[in-house]
Amino acid sequence: RPETNNTVSPNPQSKVSELLRDSWADAGFATPETALRTRGWAVLNGDRERFKESVYVTDDARKILEDMFLKMAEASNDPNKAQYIQEILNNNYGVEDAILMPLMALNRDKNFTGYRILSQQSPSENEMVLQVETTMAAAPANKETLKFQNFDGNWKVVIDEDCIKAAH
């Protein structure tokens, strides 16, 4: 049976591609690669709305993360914790912000230099799994597996229970 161009390859491709920080831009979400560049740009620019558009948090993951953040806030010995919690509520910070803020802090401290896509595989035509290293000037590269899913032509990073377990 001859293969057609729209056949999705389940096999990992190991061609490394570099997305240097200079290439990060508000490039939209047409492909997993442009979505990754847009996500990086949102982190560099602290663009909460654009970052929020770049991720899809499943209901189960949202519940787990909200519970984790609440426990962390309640466990804090900070005398201003009530004020911080109120600020979070007032500013309508959500799970996406709780994912974005540490990334912004990491960039500020370690200076992101780019993304390196180590491998990619497509379990289906609407899914892409990328092994990505975030390279930094002041720290070793941080490697993670990002699951992308296509929602009506927009590729987003999926935050699910597996993703949370892998991060903790």
Strand partners, 156: 149
What's the pTM value of the predicted model, to 2 decimals? 0.81
Kindly tell me if the per-residue pLDDT of 1 is higher than 60.
no
Better pLDDT: 4 or 52 = 52
Tens of pLDDT, residues 57-113: 999 998 888 888 778 777 888 888 777 777 776 666 788 988 898 899 999 999 999
Kindly tell me if the per-residue pLDDT of 12 is higher than 90.
no
Query: Which tokens go with 121?
Result: 């595989």
Kindly tell me if the per-residue pLDDT of 13 is higher than 60.
no
Alpha-carbon gap, residue 43 to 152, rounded angstroms: 24
Better pLDDT: 88 or 160 = 160
DSSP states of 93-119: --HHHHHHHHHHHHHHHH-EEEEEEEE
Question: What is residue 14's predicted lDDT score, i.e. its pLDDT?
Answer: 56
Tens of pLDDT, residues 109-159: 999 999 999 999 999 999 999 999 999 999 999 999 999 999 999 999 999
- CA-to-CA separations, 67 to 71, 100, 146, in angstroms, rounded: 6, 17, 23
